[in-house]
Structure 1
Amino acid sequence: MRVSAVFILSLCLRIAESETEEQHWYPGTATWYGEPEGDGSTGGACGYGTLVDVRPLKARVGAVGSALFKKGEGCGACYKVKCLDHSICAKRAVTVIITDECPGCPSDRTHFDLSGAAFGRMAHAGENGQLRNRGQIPVIYRRTPCKYAGKNIAFHVNEGSTPFWLSLLVEFEDGDGDIGTMHIQEAGSSEWLQMNHVWGANWCIIGGPLKGPFSVKLSTSTGRSLTAKDVIPSKWAPKATYTSRLNFLS
């Protein structure tokens, strides 16, 4: 039987991709916190608030130690976490979004403190509770693209913002999920003003009076960039959320 060269090339590429993916799994440990089927904590150290308990996050969240939290610059990144105890765990990985910090996590290894719901999803069907009873378990993990079907990047104007102090929280950023730098551009200006990372996933700029509408330019930890033109209107308000028309993967 003759096998086409295209088929052989396709098969080789699939094998190479599989091997490359496996090489990027790293060892770690995992525990869980909060309610057994809950989201760990309300909001967490990234500042996402109640978003952690509604779709698309819906408790698929976790806390990490300093190595992955990166003083908040790791907020929004997504990871696949897979339990290694196959006596009670399924072979599938659970995908989690980093929304919190774990100050008490072990410093000698990478550790995930997952929501009770996310932790339980690694178990065989019907054994979620038994897995949670194990406490700490060995896992492997790897970075994975964040996916928010039907969602575009949104900018939440934090409470207390004024024309002289503007603070933004970025929501539903797919792809890398994290933020490396953020800039805004005022109405009628060609200059991009650099925002400063404050805490968690929150960025701010001091100046002014700042005049909207504002365009926002994001870059991720891998250097991918995106510009949302005039996404924040001239009559913006604190505690309001303004949704763009784009995302990294759309």
Structure 2
Amino acid sequence: MAGGACGYGTLVDVKPLRARVGAVSPVLFKGGEGCGACYKVRCLDPAICSRRAVTVIITDECPGGYCASGHTHFDLSGAAFGRMAVAGEAGQLRDRGEISVIFRRTPCKYPGKNIAFHVNEGSTNFWLSLLVEFEGDDGDIGSMHIKQANSMKWLEMKHVWGASWCIIGGPLQGPFSVKLTTLTTQRTLSARDVIPRNWSPKATYTSRLNFL
């Protein structure tokens, strides 16, 4: 799946995600609800590791093997791995393949960027699927609701997979307002009329808001 199990696609290849992406075991992936969360990770071997932590954004679930054993596990990009090394030891650290680390949750920061909503391919007036991008602070999503044009009622969206949510109904009438509630701290943000009336599949619409 391009861009990993969270569905971010080519977004993982551009800043600020590039070189900061990571895959995690099921205990942190949470069936996709852990997508977008940020962690500081630091390795514990003083021979080749500095005390510098690297910040990674969860974009994927690591496959099988050790990851499926119930352990907490991170698969980091080569660049993220190398950043934890002492000077001159980045290659040796990457060659290790597996190291002991400590980690902690950290707020996601996307300077100059607001939350964006990507309309997934295949969306219609009867099945609308949205992928959330650049969500600051918690980074994860606990629930999403959508409100149609000329309506006062928020309709609950269903978690499909990764960072994608959908609603079935119809015909659905834009413009749409979208309300996010974070999984970790239950903070809420509402983007009014962020999806225009003449929306298109595969288009991305940026809000004027973000969690601080």
TM-score (norm 2): 0.96
Contact 2:27 2:72 in 1 (8 A): yes
Indicate conservation of the 8 Å contact 2:26/2:70, yes or no: no
- Are the aligned partners of 1:42 and 1:52 in contact in 2 as well (CA < 8 Å)? no
**Partner SS state of residue 178, structure 2:** strand
Partner of 1:141: 103
Contact conserved, 1:66 with 1:103, CA < 8 A, in 2? Answer: no
Corresponding residue SS for 2:104: strand
**What is the CA-CA distance between 1:103 and the residue it aligns to?**
2.7
Corresponding residue number in structure 2 for 1:194: 156
Alignment deviations for residues 106-151 of structure 1 (CA, whole Å, 9 cap, x no partner): 5242110111111111111222111011111000000000000000
Point out where structure 1 has 5 or more consecutive residues left out of the alignment: 1-40
Q: For residue 154 of structure 1, what is the amino acid of its counterpart?
A: A
Identify the match of residue 169 of structure 1 among 122, 131, 134: 131
1:58 pairs with 10, 18, 27, which one?
18
Match of residue 88 from structure 1? 48
For 1:71, the equivalent position in structure 2 comes to 31
Match of 1:4 in 2: none
Q: How far 1:86 moved relative to its partner? A: 1.2
CA positional deviation for 1:47: 0.3
Matched residues, number: 209
Alignment-derived partner of residue 245 in structure 1: 208
Q: Is the 8 A contact 2:6 2:163 kept in 1?
A: yes
Q: What's 2:83 paired with?
A: 121
Corresponding letter in the other structure for 1:155: F
* Runs of 5+ unmatched residues, structure 2: none
In 1, are the aligned partners of 2:159 and 2:165 still within 8 Å (CA)?
Answer: yes
| Kept in 1: contact 2:177–2:192 (CA 8 A) | yes
Deviates more, 1:216-225 or 1:123-132: 123-132
Taking the aligned partners of 1:67 and 1:190, their CA distance within structure 2 comes to 37
TM-score of the two chains, using structure 1 as the length reference: 0.82
Give the distance between the partners of 2:7 and 2:106, measured in 1 at CA. Answer: 22
**Contact 2:26–2:68 (8 Å) recurs in 1:** no
| Residue matched to 2:115 | 153
Alpha-carbon distance in structure 2 between the residues aligned to 1:125 and 1:232: 47
Secondary structure (helix, strand or coil) at the match of 1:55 reads: coil
RMSD over aligned CA atoms reads 1.0
AA in 1 matched with 2:150: G
